[in-house]
Structure 1
Amino acid sequence: MEKTIKEAARVKPSDRQLAWHEMEFYGFIHFTVNTFTNREWGLGNEDPALFDPSELNADQWVEVCKSAGMKGLILTCKHHDGFCLWPSRYTEHSVKNSPWREGKGDLVKEVADACRSAGIRFGIYLSPWDLHEPTYGDSITYNSFFMNQLRELLTDYGDIFCVWFDGACGEGPNGKRQVYDWESYYLLIRVLQPGAVISVCGPDVRWCGNEAGHTRNSEWSVVPAALQDNEKIQEKSQQEDDGEFAKRYDSQDDDLGSREVIRGADKLVWYPAEVNTSIRPGWFYHPEEDDQVKPLDELLEVYVRSVGGNANFLLNLPPDKRGLIHENDARRMSELGQTIMDTYRDNLCAEAVAVASAQMDDRHDANNILDGNLDTYWCPPEGVEQAEIEIDLQEQKTFDRIVLMEQIRVGQRIESFSLEWKDGDVWKPLDQGTVIGYKRICRFGKVTARYIKLTITASRWYPTLTSFQVFSSK
């Protein structure tokens, strides 16, 4: 076995990345002065008096998120226009100079408190680009300003699961281009919120590369460290207010972690993907888009291909001028959550028994994949890269989904697999795929069978599996 492949198999996620993987699906809230000017990107010169939502209710936002099964919410605390949704001590361009709550409001606090009360996690989006701040482009001065604002958000609002940095970068009001001190930003986050992942322009979670909901067939979490290069991330990020950007993706980026790719890498890292898209064409609310909420089938497809394709799903929900998520969006989220729950509620493996072609020892028995405990797992002896596991459901059952999960705490190993069902004495194909990673959802036409076989046809060093679940969609 190549030394590089064994090294790749040993790359593991951090504890904060593991916690992030387990969140799977969470919401994005884009809300600022743009909501009231009907723009996607503000100019930085908007009057704070514009910000005056009449019925703002952060609890409603959180309840809508929960209705879809989301486990967290990320708030755009400051977008590119520089308007702050909290009363920052370092700028006058904030809610403290708006009529909302008579200038005494703090939307970041309201959302953080609503998340905490409802039992979901809270994250922050803070745009490094700031079209309002006059020091933007005077790199040292602005970096100090930005660090001060970041420190406010990291210390005043409780536990934060994610700090989401946009890659957008442009000129400041002074015509200068800013050089961001990323390493200092990261260090501050690590000190003040050590459990928070730093996403997109950060070392913990990578952007999937588009805003169209496109996902890769093979989504590797173990990739060359060069993908963490912020300058390259910024180059591929949106540079101007362009409505077509959200529809683009580059098929040349489809392979980020195959054997061919990692052979030439100087260093490999655990850098998993997040798929982000909006429930509407825009990221901010526009009344003309009320009838353009994504169809349920489209959202379900993105959910299965992201959460079921070793990536997390970040779905944007833009509140309207009232400060509420629109009824159309809320209704669609409830439909989405109900469908997901109905589909993945009843695991048909409850009484099943598993037998593997090989196992490392008694602690790594094949039945570990059926026990519902993500701490236990099956694996064959070291060096065994191919294996079979046969599942006996104990009786004939009808199903059309199989959910597979690797034990990613020890690495991502599986490169290809196939699934079959037994028809009499004949094994017939169900599905085949490449990577599994944290989770893989396999879909196929409904079959009725008692026996299912998983064949791992290629892996790195040796494969692992922590969960095998069988479902029937309604």
Structure 2
Amino acid sequence: MQDFEKAAGIVPEERQLKWQKTEFYAFCHFGMNTFTGKEWGDGKTPPEVFNPTDFDAEQWAMSVKSAGMKALILTCKHHDGFCLWPSEYTDYSVKNSPFKDGNGDIVKEVAEACRKYSLGFGVYLSPWDRHEKTYGSGAAYNTYYKNQLRELLTNYGDIFCVWLDGACGEGPNGKVQKYDWNGYYALVRELQPNAVICVSGPDVRWIGNEAGVCRSSEWSVVPAWLSKNDYIAEKSQKVDDEKFRKKHNEMTLDLGSRKAIKGETAFIWYPAEVDVSIRPGWFYHENEDAKVKSLKKLYDIYIKSVGGNAALLLNIPPDKRGKIAKTDELTLDSFGRLLKRRFPKNLASDAKATSSSEIDSEHLAKNIIEDDDSLYWQAASDDEEPEIVVDFGKPVNFDKLVLQENIATGQQIES
């Protein structure tokens, strides 16, 4: 069997299929950095500094929903180590902040708002912790991290995604931690088996930049070595660098073409996620209020990512009040309306589809115009030049053509 035939036989897990149907969802970077003006905190800021005065998780959810997004991922703990829930394992959390007199739980309120508005809820828990004293000690810190991960995966309902950052720097003792990735993965599988593990994980790969750019041909089936943690760590951001957020030089790497996989022996289903912020930074900064991405820019990113076999994770950073800033809120609502205008109706719904062949009585040509994405057409095995014709019965003007492969059976279409 040739390498491309092996690749064509790789199929996704059910959790990956469900994630890929999510397509477009939100990242909310919120935490101590929101109040210090930093992107990467050092873990030394007193918890008293964290004090959102008008926190409104439902406003977050409504804003995300208005843009057409289907889920939200919250930075429950960033590199500074400050926890947005009252963790039993550290004092560096909301329980020692002025927020609701130390009785608040940001994670709980956001999770509940997501459920109310039918959004998936995901968690970001940075392995790098610049506050925790056991960081860099080996087993002790890995136990600490897994304890916090367990809290998030057992106390806040269904989790659709666990987003693991590959950043690994020094802790307060000047040491670097060796992460127990396999232990982290095992815990996620045990407690939230339907959740995908993103970026530094086995289910979803990082696109290679934070500029919102994906390759002209983005493959879901790639060589297995791309999921190795050493490789991921090498490509991850090492320092707080604005230039890194604009780079996309990793896009030169061809991942899934016949030429790229020639000689490879092991393949995995490892679909891509494009992550980009609606602002220059990932956390809220007042001086960026006039730098929110335009509808034109957002639409271009959306079409090239969601339309290019990748999911789009758009960061929306709440402000110091604990709300989505007005500029961002209006932009999200306008973008949702724009998507509805650009894709108002399936013009082929009343058309007739015929084909050169059909493999059986279930995979018929007419399936391609049905709204049910579990239905699909498949040509007969001996049809070397399969063809399908869609007859509208009259002249029709259109400017968009949406073609989708039935990825439940793998990725076989090259061009």
Q: TM-score, normalised by structure 2?
A: 0.98
CA deviation after TM superposition for structure 1 residue 383, in Å: 5.8
Cα distance between partner residues in 2 of 1:103 and 1:62: 23
CA deviation after TM superposition for structure 1 residue 251, in Å: 5.0
Q: Given the alignment of the two structures, is residue 127 of structure 1 paired with residue 113 of structure 2, yes or no?
A: no
Q: Given the alignment of the two structures, is residue 313 of structure 1 paired with residue 312 of structure 2, yes or no?
A: yes
> Residue deviations 1:166-210, cap 9 Å, x none?
111101111111110000100000010000000000000000000
Other-structure match for 2:275: 276
Pairing 1:206-221 to 2, within 5 Å after superposition: 206-221=205-220
Cα distance between partner residues in 2 of 1:386 and 1:326: 54
Q: Given the alignment of the two structures, is residue 266 of structure 1 paired with residue 265 of structure 2, yes or no?
A: yes
- For the structure 1 residues 382 and 4, does the alpha-carbon distance in structure 2 shift closer, same or farther, using more than 3 Å as the test? farther
Other-structure match for 1:159: 158
Pairing 1:404-443 to 2, within 5 Å after superposition: 404-416=403-415
Check whether the contact 1:351–1:394 (CA below 8 A) recurs between aligned residues.
Answer: no
Which gives a bigger RCO, structure 1 or 2 (Cα 8 Å, sep 6+)?
A: 2
CA deviation after TM superposition for structure 1 residue 364, in Å: 1.6
> Residue deviations 1:397-425, cap 9 Å, x none?
11100101111110011101xxxxxxxxx
CA deviation after TM superposition for structure 1 residue 382, in Å: 2.7
SS in 2 for 1:145: helix
Cα distance between partner residues in 2 of 1:334 and 1:31: 21
- For the structure 1 residues 387 and 284, does the alpha-carbon distance in structure 2 shift closer, same or farther, using more than 3 Å as the test? same
CA deviation after TM superposition for structure 1 residue 235, in Å: 1.2
Cα distance between partner residues in 1 of 2:394 and 2:62: 40
Q: Given the alignment of the two structures, is residue 83 of structure 1 paired with residue 82 of structure 2, yes or no?
A: yes
Uncovered stretches (5+) of structure 2, i.e. residues with no partner: none
CA deviation after TM superposition for structure 1 residue 361, in Å: 2.2
Other-structure match for 1:246: 245
SS in 2 for 1:74: strand
Other-structure match for 2:381: 382
CA deviation after TM superposition for structure 1 residue 267, in Å: 0.8
SS in 1 for 2:387: strand
Check whether the contact 2:61–2:117 (CA below 8 A) recurs between aligned residues.
Answer: yes
Q: Given the alignment of the two structures, is residue 117 of structure 1 paired with residue 120 of structure 2, yes or no?
A: no
SS in 1 for 2:242: coil
Identity of aligned pairs, percent? Answer: 55
Other-structure match for 2:234: 235
- For the structure 1 residues 254 and 340, does the alpha-carbon distance in structure 2 shift closer, same or farther, using more than 3 Å as the test? farther
Check whether the contact 2:197–2:204 (CA below 8 A) recurs between aligned residues.
Answer: yes
Cα distance between partner residues in 1 of 2:372 and 2:65: 24
Cα distance between partner residues in 2 of 1:291 and 1:357: 54
Cα distance between partner residues in 1 of 2:146 and 2:58: 29
User: Which structure has the highest strand share of the two?
Assistant: 1
Once superposed, which parts of structure 1, at least 4 consecutive aligned residues long, lie more than 6 Å away?
A: none
Other-structure match for 2:371: 372
Other-structure match for 2:178: 179
SS in 1 for 2:298: helix
Cα distance between partner residues in 1 of 2:379 and 2:398: 28
SS in 1 for 2:140: helix
> Residue deviations 1:183-240, cap 9 Å, x none?
0100000010000000000000000000001111100000001000111111111111
- For the structure 1 residues 176 and 251, does the alpha-carbon distance in structure 2 shift closer, same or farther, using more than 3 Å as the test? closer
CA deviation after TM superposition for structure 1 residue 355, in Å: 1.6
SS in 2 for 1:395: coil
CA deviation after TM superposition for structure 1 residue 345, in Å: 2.5
- For the structure 1 residues 306 and 137, does the alpha-carbon distance in structure 2 shift closer, same or farther, using more than 3 Å as the test? same
CA deviation after TM superposition for structure 1 residue 280, in Å: 0.2
Other-structure match for 1:464: none
Uncovered stretches (5+) of structure 1, i.e. residues with no partner: 417-474
CA deviation after TM superposition for structure 1 residue 386, in Å: 4.1
User: What is the letter of the counterpart of residue 154 of structure 1?
Assistant: L
Check whether the contact 1:72–1:120 (CA below 8 A) recurs between aligned residues.
Answer: yes
User: What is the letter of the counterpart of residue 306 of structure 1?
Assistant: S
CA deviation after TM superposition for structure 1 residue 7, in Å: 2.0
Cα distance between partner residues in 1 of 2:408 and 2:242: 39
Q: TM-score, normalised by structure 1?
A: 0.86
Q: Given the alignment of the two structures, is residue 22 of structure 1 paired with residue 21 of structure 2, yes or no?
A: yes
Over aligned residues, Cα RMSD in angstroms?
Answer: 1.1
Q: Given the alignment of the two structures, is residue 33 of structure 1 paired with residue 32 of structure 2, yes or no?
A: yes
Cα distance between partner residues in 2 of 1:50 and 1:109: 21
- For the structure 1 residues 152 and 9, does the alpha-carbon distance in structure 2 shift closer, same or farther, using more than 3 Å as the test? same
CA deviation after TM superposition for structure 1 residue 367, in Å: 1.0
Tell me which moved more, 23-32 or 226-235. Answer: 226-235
Cα distance between partner residues in 2 of 1:167 and 1:363: 44
Q: How many pairs does the alignment contain?
A: 415
SS in 2 for 1:398: coil
CA deviation after TM superposition for structure 1 residue 11, in Å: 0.7
